[in-house]
Structure 1
Amino acid sequence: MKTCPNCGSKMGSNVNFCTNCGADIRNVPLDSEVQATAPAAQPTQPAPDTEPTMEQVTTPSRKSQRMTNNVNPQPQPQPQQQVQPQQSVDTAAIKANAANMWQWFVNSWKHPFEEQVAESWYGWVTLLVENILVVLGLYICINKYAQNQLGDSEMGQAAQSLISNFSTSSLFELFLYLILVIVAMIAAAYYAHKFVYGSTEPLFTFVNRIVSCSNISAILYVISFVCLIIGSEDMLKMGLPLVGIAMTIFSLATYTVVVGDSAPAVNDKFYGLLIVVVVQFLVMYILGKVFGTAIYNQIQNLIHSSFSGMY
Structure 2
Amino acid sequence: MSKDDSKLETVTFYPHGDEKAENNSSNVASAAATGKKLNYFKWILSSWIHPGEEVEGAKWYGVVTIVAELLVFFGALYRFFHVLVKNSFFGANINNIFYVLNGGKSSIAELLVYLKLFIFSLIAAAIIIGGTYLVSRYLVSGKKENFWTYTNRITHYSGINVILTLVILVLGLFGIAGRAISLLTLFALAIFGIAVLVAVISRSNEEGLDRIYAGIVTVLVMGLGFFIFYLLSSEIIMKVISFGVQVFMMMMGGLQ
| TM-score clears 0.5 | yes
Indicate how the Cα distance of structure 1 residues 297 and 236 shifts in structure 2: closer, same or farther if over 3 A, else same: closer
In structure 2, the partner of 1:129 is 68
CA contact (8 A) 1:140 1:228 kept: yes
In structure 2, the partner of 1:252 is 194
In structure 1, the partner of 2:160 is 216
Using the TM superposition, give the Cα deviation of residue 14 of structure 1 relative to its aligned residue in structure 2, in angstroms.
4.9
CA contact (8 A) 1:170 1:295 kept: no
* Structure 1 unaligned regions, length at least 5: 1-11, 17-99, 304-311
Residue correspondence of structure 1 range 48-127 to structure 2 within 5 A: 100-127=39-66
In structure 2, the partner of 1:163 is 97
> Per residue, is there more helix in 1 or in 2?
2
Residue correspondence of structure 1 range 274-289 to structure 2 within 5 A: 274-289=216-231
Normalised to the residue count of structure 1, the TM-score between the two structures is 0.59
Once the two structures are superposed, residues 38-92 of structure 1 have per-residue CA deviations (whole angstroms, 9 ceiling, x without a partner) of xxxxxxxxxxxxxxxxxxxxxxxxxxxxxxxxxxxxxxxxxxxxxxxxxxxxxxx
CA contact (8 A) 1:259 1:269 kept: yes
One-letter identity of the residue aligned with 1:115: E
Task: From 261, 270, 281, give the equivalent of 2:212.
Answer: 270
Once the two structures are superposed, residues 116-160 of structure 1 have per-residue CA deviations (whole angstroms, 9 ceiling, x without a partner) of 120110000000010011111111111111221136xxxx43x22
RMSD: 2.6
Query: Secondary structure of the residue that 1:142 maps to in structure 2?
Result: helix
**Matched residues in 2 for 1:264 and 1:102: separation?**
37
One-letter identity of the residue aligned with 1:280: M
One-letter identity of the residue aligned with 1:136: G
What is the aligned residue count?
202
Larger Rg: 1
**Higher RCO structure (Cα 8 Å, ≥6 apart):** 2
In structure 1, the partner of 2:136 is 193
Indicate how the Cα distance of structure 1 residues 298 and 226 shifts in structure 2: closer, same or farther if over 3 A, else same: closer
Normalised to the residue count of structure 2, the TM-score between the two structures is 0.70
In structure 1, the partner of 2:29 is none
In structure 2, the partner of 1:138 is 77
* Structure 2 unaligned regions, length at least 5: 1-33, 102-109, 247-256
**Matched residues in 2 for 1:239 and 1:285: separation?**
22
